[in-house]
Every structure is written in structure tokens, then in C-alpha cells.
Amino acid sequence: MTPLVRRLFLPFLAALAACQTVPYTKRSHLVLVSEGEETALGESAYGDALAKATLSNDAEATALVRRVGQRIAAVADKPGFKWEFNLIDDPKTVNAWCLPGGKVAVYSGILPITQDENGLAVVMGHEIAHALARHGSERMSQGLLAQLGGAALGAAMASKPEATQQLAQQAYGAGATVGVLLPFSRAQESEADRIGLILIAKAGYEPGAAVDFWGRMSKAAGGGGGPEFLRTHPADDKRIADIQSRLPEARGYLPK
Ligand SMILES: [Zn+2]
């Protein structure tokens, strides 16, 4: 980028990025897709994913997933979300995710590690935090920025805002359907841990359950390639120490 281009476009991009702020952490980030568009894309990707999956017929476990989900949704302050919580019958898959707009899937393979309602709340709170913080759209927007370069993107937004937004949506749509499980960055993971703890505390769950859950996850990593969830969520000592250090903040949100 030449100095002139830098001088012309970086303030513009900075202004654009400053338009979006992550709840609780107040971090500014670049998101080129509107929340409405994101919700629509999440909904269609969710339909695709469920069509390929088998829903659990374990009524008790499904009810637990929905109860935890509803409790977190009730405090998430996202009236625009179309919340949905499903348990997928797949004992070999240790995983869970939340698509934009509040579309949550939990795989039965993770239940032996979550163990109880608090453990399940830790996982669902973390995944819902990714959606609240709009990490998927942030990743796509960063990808677009890397692809076009900051100057080109700045110029495109200035001259053709609608066309550029469409491009962002296409990039996002492709990612949302094939890339539900693309790993988030470590910074996003750490942010989702922090927000997830706050969410579960607001919902009345003890956030300290996260330390126990990640300890069990770390043990489950033991042999072989490790479960799916671990490939995108390393359960190392640093993560657990970071979570420990965030507990006082989260406990401030526990209902009085
Ligand atoms: Zn995560």
C-alpha cells in the first residue's frame, strides 16, 4: 500500500471497523455483512446441516439441550435471533456449534465430556458467544480484506457499497455452508470463552464449571487425533488459566 493510499483509505476502514462493537468486550471489528443477512445465511446453513444429520431420539438429553439453550437465550439480549437448539445423534462426534442468528447444534458425542447441565452450559455458552460476537462474519470480512487488500476494499466500499456488500455476502454464504467448522482464531476463541462465561453466569450457572469441563476435554485429547471439538478448540493449560482468571468478572453477572 502506498503512503498516499494508506492516508486516504485507512481512516475510512477504521471508521468502517468502528461501526461494529463486540458485546461485553467492547472490541471494535470489521463486519461487512448486516445482522439480518447473517441470520438468513445461518438459517439456511442450519437447514442444510440438519438435513444431513440424525436428530437424537433421547427425549431427556434433547430436553436438557433445549433447557440450557433457552436459559442462555433468555439473557443473551438478541431479540433478532431465531433461536433453535437440537441434539444430533452422533456418539462419535465430540462437537457443538452455533450459527449466526442463534442456530445451535450439539452432537451426542460431547455429552460424556460435558457430563451435566453445568458442563453443557459451558459448551453452549461458548458457542453462542461466537455468534453474539459475530466471529463468523468477522472472519469472512477479514478474508475479503486479505483477498482484495485494504485499499481496494476501501475504494470499493466508497464507490459501490452495495456491490461490495454483496461480494461480502457471497464470501460469507460460501463459508457458512461449507465452513461451519472452520477454526476461529485464538483471539476469537479467547473472546468466546470470556463472553461465554458471562452468559452462563447471567443464566444462573456457576462459571467455574468451565475449568472442570476444559480439564476433562484436555484428558479426552489423550490418544489419537483427538475429538473434532479439540481440533478447533485446543484445551491447553493456557486456555484453562485464562478461563480461571476470567471467573471473577463472570461471577459479577450471577443473578443476585
Ligand atoms: Zn470456539
The DSSP line for 108-121 is GGGHHHH-SHHHHH
What per-residue confidence (pLDDT) applies to 1?
Answer: 47
What per-residue confidence (pLDDT) applies to 173?
Answer: 54
The lowest-confidence range among 44-58, 80-94, 159-173, 178-192 is 159-173
**Does position 151 have pLDDT exceeding 70, yes or no?**
no
Cβ–Cβ under 8 Å, residues 84 and 102:
yes
What per-residue confidence (pLDDT) applies to 150?
Answer: 66
Band of residue 145 on the pLDDT scale cut at 50, 70, 90:
confident
Nearest Cα residue to 214 out of 229, 200, 225, 203: 229
Average pLDDT, the chain: 84
The DSSP line for 122-157 is HHHHHHHHHHHTTHHHHHHHHHHHHHH-HHHHHHHH
Q: Which residue has the higher pLDDT, 151 or 30?
A: 30
- The predicted model scores a pTM of 0.84
Among this protein's residues, is 191 annotated catalytic? no
Distance in Å, CA 236 to ligand 1 centroid: 14
Distance in Å, CA 55 to ligand 1 centroid: 22
What per-residue confidence (pLDDT) applies to 10?
Answer: 52
Nearest Cα residue to 32 out of 124, 159, 162: 162
**Does position 139 have pLDDT exceeding 90, yes or no?**
no
**Does position 179 have pLDDT exceeding 50, yes or no?**
no
**What is the distance of C-alpha 210 from the center of its chain?**
16
Residue 209, CB half-sphere, CA atoms under 13 Å: how many?
Answer: 24
Distance in Å, CA 30 to ligand 1 centroid: 19
Q: In the chain, pLDDT over 90 holds for what percent of residues?
A: 55
Catalytic residue among 37, 84, 127, 138: 127
Distance in Å, CA 135 to ligand 1 centroid: 9
- Give the pLDDT mean for 29-56: 88
